A and B are shown apart, each in its own frame.
Chain A
Amino acid sequence: MEENLNKHSDVSAADLDRLNKEAQSEATPAAAKIIWDEFKADRPAMIALFIVVGFILFVMIGSLFINTPKMMETNIMNYNAAPGTSGFWLGADSAGRSIAQQLIVGARNSIGIAIGLTIISSVFGICWGLISGYFNGYIDWGMQRVYDFMMMLPMTMMIIVIVTIIKNYNAVTLTLIFSIFYWEGTSRLIRSRTLSESEKDYVAASKTSGTGSFNIIFREIMPNISSLIIVDTTLSFAENIGVETGLSYLGFGLPIQTPSLGTLIANANDPNNITQYWWTWLPAAALIIILCLSISYIGQVIRRSADASQRQGVSD
């Protein structure tokens, strides 16, 4: 049949080739290219991207050269050494430990946990939202009640209570504990989009032709809301940096021997530190602010590129 068609088709091979190329050039450019064009058009966005990627690479590689147990040893001779003295670029804290080294290792821990938390909670939240939004009726009702219940829980308090119960926890268990409580925002967003997406014709057509629910959800609906997913994941990454550092600041995050940006800021709880020894906590605070602003800005640029009417980048 197909051969037959080809034989009778009056389009020559060369023409077909040309038509294909024309169609491709007129088609919507790939998502990655749109985003990249948007970055190229927006200089601050490029700077933000450079800061985030460069900084993450720097702390990941830099921390490999730092011996953490040795770094955390107390050395009373260097008590609150000022920046620039005795080989400490950024000074030392009240236990004589180098702030610069703690910053690098702490930033690696904080960013690592934020990345882990973002991946786990986003994957879970996306699946939850897709399934809840696609299967209306009882399944959605049941899942919504679980969601309501999770929303009611005072998150910070619950995490603190759980962290107190578990005696030996490390970065991995801590990430898992956080993940229990931080998927709701994503799931709500994805669910409302899936609800409206499920009513579209392509889903109905797919259902009629007998495609399984799993394929419809993950192969058809999910790609169609992928821009929303990317934006939400980026923005929640910035938020998640605040989650871990905040709890470590209160003393219920990473254990004391594991530096984090939060534990460094907690140096400010001591009135002496906050007034006289600013270098013990201010660099960590500044670092968090710069990181969060940059990541959040990247998220906004991606959001803009997902909406054709707001794009600034000109695609050729």
Chain B
Amino acid sequence: MWKTVLRRIMIMIPEVIILSLLVFLLAKAMPGDPFTGSINPKADPAQLHHLMEMNGLYDPWYQQYWNWVVHLFHGNLGNSYQYQEPVARLISSRAVNTLWLALFTTVLTYCFALPMGMYAAKHEGKLPDTIIRFYTYITYSIPFFVILVIGIWIFGYVLGWFPTTGSISSTANPGISSAGSRLYHILLPGIMGALFGTVNVVQYLRSEVIDAKRSDYVRTARSKGVPEADVYKHHIFRNSLLPIAAFAGYSITGLLNGSIFTETIFSYPGMGLLFINSINYRDYTVITALVLIYGILNLLGTLLSDIILSIVDPRIRIE
């Protein structure tokens, strides 16, 4: 198994290198510069020129790329031009918010999806199955951002049950109340993300369980007199659940990509919102760092899923 993992990691290295080059060149190609807007419009053009030179923005691109990579390996992602603060610190403070939301949503997704998938498979072809399949069809079809906008309208504005902006209320005291406030702020996006993100897990679990129901070991269990509830609990569920665990990696990857929408709509200060702000301010250093981080997180999410799958299903290891 370690061979498979090692091989996967070997393939990842050139991918990350190409991504870093691509990201760097794209950021260089973006119009405008980070200084013109931020300094006094009456300032001397020579001063601007000097600033650009100080920051090495006139060097040839390969030189700039090389400097950037060297700094990267020293853990230095540069300074944010907009926030005047090291990018690493800026992003890590935002990343905590994004990861909390992603983790919360993933846990909730499984809480909703596992019983639904099991229940649908148990009553295959009957009314509950039809209802659950109809539900997954609806959640799968509607673009997620539309649902979020409607959700924040109904539950945030009209009913006023949930906060509509931020990650923590400004009056929260440190300690229990701040943790509670944080949870309160991720409740609505988390629940909506979970309710509308169940489709993959439900469909996969349903078909796994339906397959398992017809397999020989289940027939054996039944014929030796195992009670029906135990057949599901000990025989079917345990076997069908393992592949589902592998979805966790993909699920987090998907949530990260959706975080741009979720965070913009809920004005939730995570990495997605930081990205949109940085684009608007042409904050290159932040943009490049974020795209790179998201790319690497995508890779790690897929890798995690593949590792779980290869543990669960030995057939995948053969290569």
Contacts and interface: CB of A to CB of B under 8 A. Distances in A.
Interface of A: 145, 148-149, 151-158, 160-162, 164-165, 167, 238, 241-242, 245-246, 249-250, 252, 265, 268, 271, 274-275, 278, 281-282, 285, 288-289, 292-293, 295-297, 300
9 contacts: A154-B295, A157-B290, A162-B26, A265-B146, A268-B149, A268-B153, A275-B153, A282-B153, A288-B146
B30 A153 contact: no
A275 B149 CA distance: 12
B60 interface: no
A83 to B, nearest CB: 17
Categorize the interface residue count of chain B: 35 or more
Interface of B: 11, 15, 18-19, 26-27, 29-31, 137-138, 140-146, 149-150, 152-153, 157-158, 164, 256-257, 260-261, 264, 275-276, 279, 287, 290-291, 294-295, 298-299, 302
Contacts of A289: 142, 146
Contacts of A151: 298, 302
Contacts of B157: 271, 274-275
A154 B146 contact: no
A285 B257 contact: no
B123 to A, nearest CB: 18
B201 to A, nearest CB: 18
A45 to B, nearest CB: 13
B141 A292 contact: yes
A149 B18 CA distance: 9
Contacts of B287: 161
Contact of A155 (B142, B257, B264, B302): B257
B114 to A, nearest CB: 24
A154 B30 contact: no
A285 B154 CA distance: 13
Contacts of A293: 138, 141-142
Q: Interface SS of chain B: helix, strand, loop or mixed?
A: helix
B279 A164 contact: yes
Nearest to A295: B141
A295 B137 CA distance: 11
A245 B276 CA distance: 17
Nearest to B152: A274
A171 to B, nearest CB: 19
A243 B145 CA distance: 10
A152 B11 contact: no
Nearest to A249: B145
Contacts of A292: 141-143
B144 A242 contact: yes
A158 B22 CA distance: 10
Nearest to B31: A167
Contact of B137 (A164, A165, A300): A300
B31 A154 contact: no
A282 B149 CA distance: 9
A165 B298 contact: no
B279 A161 contact: yes
A196 to B, nearest CB: 15
A148 B15 contact: yes
A55 B152 CA distance: 28
A274 B294 contact: no
Nearest to B299: A152
A62 B319 CA distance: 57
Contacts of B31: 164-165, 167
Contact of A265 (B142, B149, B302): B149
B204 to A, nearest CB: 15
Contacts of A296: 137, 140-141
A188 to B, nearest CB: 13
Nearest to A252: B279
B302 to A, nearest CB: 7
A248 to B, nearest CB: 10
B141 A161 contact: no
Contacts of B261: 156, 246, 249-250
A291 to B, nearest CB: 10
A154 B294 contact: yes
B38 to A, nearest CB: 18
A156 B255 CA distance: 12
Nearest to B291: A157
Nearest to B149: A268
